[in-house]
């Protein structure tokens, strides 16, 4: 069986240090061999391994919920994560705080720099991929971006917004956030793609380019998932270089099968 210690060791092998900020996209379909007698125990083993790897740093998982886009109240404490059972399990653990972004919330364990506390945890109008978003924070601290079991990278939309790509546009969503018993009417600005167009986000070319440059480190646990880690700023730099040659580099168009980006 794969233990928490095994996972921590594998993370060390792909460059994760105890003081890092670690952002995790996960797919636990290949995680049955983790220690534990049931699903919850296995999930806890994974969480322990991840948390131990950044014992002096910060562990972050996406807990995205698109219910706000359907005009449902986003309840910071109760609305479940829609991006996997690991992130939902992590969200409910003691000491974990959830950011109140009504579409792209994240669950955070560890101490956030003081200058980012207000930006990430206040209930207010939001720019999902803007300069005070969690994705801007990942860039600011040059976080380790980890793919556990699958390749995904919602960070690309922050990169696209910064670059001003032609194939996405801003759309405002108006809704209510519930937090600590208080209801607040807010607006979330979301860089979306036209759903009628015949393309989607694809991170496969980006990860391939990262691997060619030696910027992506991978390890595979025995009969378990593959871990792929890269620095946030390296992801952005390589994406920018490639987009200079092909502005559609981060899309499915012309690059073969799509790999989920983690959002629309």
Query: What b/e string do you get for 44-56 counting C-beta neighbours within 10 Å, with b at 16 or more?
Result: bbbbbbbbbbbee
Sheet-wide strand order for 74-75: 74-75, 169-179, 182-192, 126-127
d(CA 153, CA 135): 10
Quick check: is 253 in a domain? no
Report the predicted TM-score, pTM, of the whole model to 2 decimal places: 0.93
pLDDT in tens, 76-126: 999 999 999 999 999 999 999 999 999 999 999 999 999 999 999 999 999
pLDDT in tens, 192-207: 988 776 678 889 999 9
Residue 262 reports pLDDT greater than 80? no
d(CA 227, CA 147): 6
Residue 263 confidence class, pLDDT cut points 50, 70, 90: very low
Quick check: is 51 in a domain? yes
pLDDT in tens, 240-260: 999 999 999 999 764 333 334
Exposed, middle or buried: residue 217 (CB in 10 Å: 0-12, 13-18, 19+)? Answer: middle
Phi, psi at residue 161, to the nearest 5°? -65, -45
Quick check: is 255 in a domain? no
pLDDT at 81: 97
Residue 32 confidence class, pLDDT cut points 50, 70, 90: confident
Domain of 129, in residue numbers? 4-245
Average pLDDT of the segment spanning 11-33: 93
Q: Looking at the 3D structure of the chain, how many domains does it have?
A: 1
Angle between helices 4-13 and 39-53 (to 10 degrees): 40
What 3-state class would DSSP assign to 175?
strand
Quick check: is 67 in a domain? yes
Mean confidence (pLDDT) of the chain: 93
Q: 31-45, 54-68, 102-116, 172-186 — which is least confidently predicted?
A: 31-45
Quick check: is 259 in a domain? no
Quick check: is 103 in a domain? yes
Q: DSSP letter string over 86-136?
A: HHHHHHTSTT-EE---SSS-EEEESPPPHHHHHHHH--S-EETTSTTSHHH
Contact 32, 42 (CB under 8 A): yes
pLDDT at 253: 60
Nearest Cα neighbor of 188 from 103, 83, 81, 105 is 103
């Amino acid at each position: 069986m794969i233990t928490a210690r095994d996972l921590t060791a594998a993370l060390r092998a792909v460059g994760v240090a105890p003081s890092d900020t670690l952002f995790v996209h996960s797919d636990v379909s290949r995680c049955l061999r983790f220690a534990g007698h049931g699903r919850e125990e296995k999930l806890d083993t994974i969480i322990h391994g991840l948390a131990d790897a950044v014992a002096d740093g910060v562990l972050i998982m996406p807990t995205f919920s698109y219910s706000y886009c359907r005009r449902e109240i986003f309840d910071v404490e109760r609305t479940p994560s829609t991006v996997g059972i690991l992130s939902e399990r992590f969200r409910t653990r003691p000491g974990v705080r959830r950011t109140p972004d009504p579409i792209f919330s994240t669950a955070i364990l560890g101490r956030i720099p003081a200058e980012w506390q207000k930006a990430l945890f206040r209930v207010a109008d939001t720019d999902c991929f803007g300069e005070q978003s969690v994705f801007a924070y990942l860039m600011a601290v040059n976080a380790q971006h980890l793919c556990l079991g699958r390749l995904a990278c919602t960070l690309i939309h922050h990169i696209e917004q910064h670059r001003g790509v032609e194939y996405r546009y801003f759309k405002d969503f108006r809704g209510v956030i519930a937090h600590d018993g208080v209801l607040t009417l807010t607006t979330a600005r979301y860089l979306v793609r036209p759903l009628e167009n015949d393309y989607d986000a694809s991170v496969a070319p980006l990860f391939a380019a990262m691997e060619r440059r030696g910027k992506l480190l991978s390890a595979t646990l025995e009969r378990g998932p593959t871990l792929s880690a890269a620095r946030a700023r390296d992801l952005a730099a390589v994406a920018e270089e490639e987009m200079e040659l092909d502005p559609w580099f981060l899309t499915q168009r012309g690059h073969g099968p799509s790999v989920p980006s983690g959002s629309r």
